[in-house]
Structure 1
């Protein structure tokens, strides 16, 4: 076996094929499900209910996405929009400064030691920290509180997605927010997507 081969490169190729077939883009969950259907050897074919499996699956996918984004940018072929709600290929714009600014999420996901060194207790601590900060009892209520949405009002996925986009815009590290806060927002969105499909 050649240790020089990057296992995420093959995953990036699979992701590229799926995104080319879906010009409107795919949510992270849908992309993971399609990779599982293709029997991708890089995505654990295990239930995402297990917290460590969920973390590793998410991390591997986002590592491949950020690698793919850089490659497409260098080739001048596409821009890759990366968000849990919508991952999609956009036309390349040579004047855009998308990759020239420091991106803490990119740095995090391209650091494979984050994957290697994160064990089940670490994931549990991350989640506990998230729920403690949210002061929530159950996951749905905590996610709604983070998004400042009232469960009493009629909620649907389009309204939740709109609020998610507002929260990401407000708390993105490029705009003075923190990576931890953005990760909490992304996790809350993944939870709410399970309840409001």
Structure 2
């Protein structure tokens, strides 16, 4: 069992790791409009492009569960954000996790309401037990794999997002990204290449703002 100091460290690190996962999950799902299985999503999160998750033994439930829980916690948080902002929703199950334009049908509850037992379970971090050294290792691997973008890359990203250079406001950048992603989504007649450039651009801008902060 972890001691109190380790538990405290883990408690402080979890929000940062969840934020990292939310950013990564949104970008990955926007790049895969047909959706992904949980297994495929975990594989992508382990790949060098993201470098968030360490190798997972998929045959060992004790090792897989904490990672599964943390990813689904971030997915349900992302779904809550998308619904609250309007225009998009996220369908979540282990076989297909897919981002779709359009809010849920009228009367559908937000995923943190008590009438959605799965959301209620995954949004409660008391259901997670992840040791501090695991969380810190995941964070270290992620940040080491992300470098500050060059000025040329940042300028191109701002052009793609139709933002002033250099970008100063994360909220304005995110709102513009969501507007353009909805406008150019293939489900709404957009071109996949344009959506991919928008997805890449927001990742560059967010990386710049994170380093600038």
TM bracket (short chain): 0.5 to 0.7
SS where residue 128 of structure 2 aligns?
Answer: helix
CA distance in 2: counterparts of 1:84 and 1:94, whole angstroms: 19
After the TM superposition, list the runs of 4 or more consecutive aligned residues in structure 1 that deviate by more than 6 angstroms: none
Structure 2: which 5+ residue stretches go unaligned? 1-8, 132-213
Select which of 10, 23, 40 maps to 2:33: 23
CA distance in 1: counterparts of 2:44 and 2:130, whole angstroms: 27
**When the two structures are aligned, how many residues end up with a matched partner?**
116
Return the offset for 1:117: 8.1
Return the offset for 1:92: 1.9
Select which of 9, 23, 26 maps to 1:13: 23
Select which of 74, 79, 83 maps to 2:93: 83
User: Partner of 1:61 in structure 2?
Assistant: 71
User: Partner of 2:136 in structure 1?
Assistant: none
CA distance in 1: counterparts of 2:28 and 2:92, whole angstroms: 14
Return the offset for 1:111: 1.0
**Larger RCO (CA under 8 A, 6+ residues apart):** 2
1:115 and 2:125 aligned: no
Select which of 98, 102, 125 maps to 1:92: 102
| Contact 2:89/2:104 (8 A) holds in 1 | no
SS where residue 74 of structure 1 aligns?
Answer: helix
| Contact 2:66/2:129 (8 A) holds in 1 | no
What RMSD in Å do the two structures reach over aligned CA positions?
Answer: 2.5
CA distance in 1: counterparts of 2:61 and 2:116, whole angstroms: 25
User: Partner of 1:153 in structure 2?
Assistant: none
Structure 1: which 5+ residue stretches go unaligned? 119-197
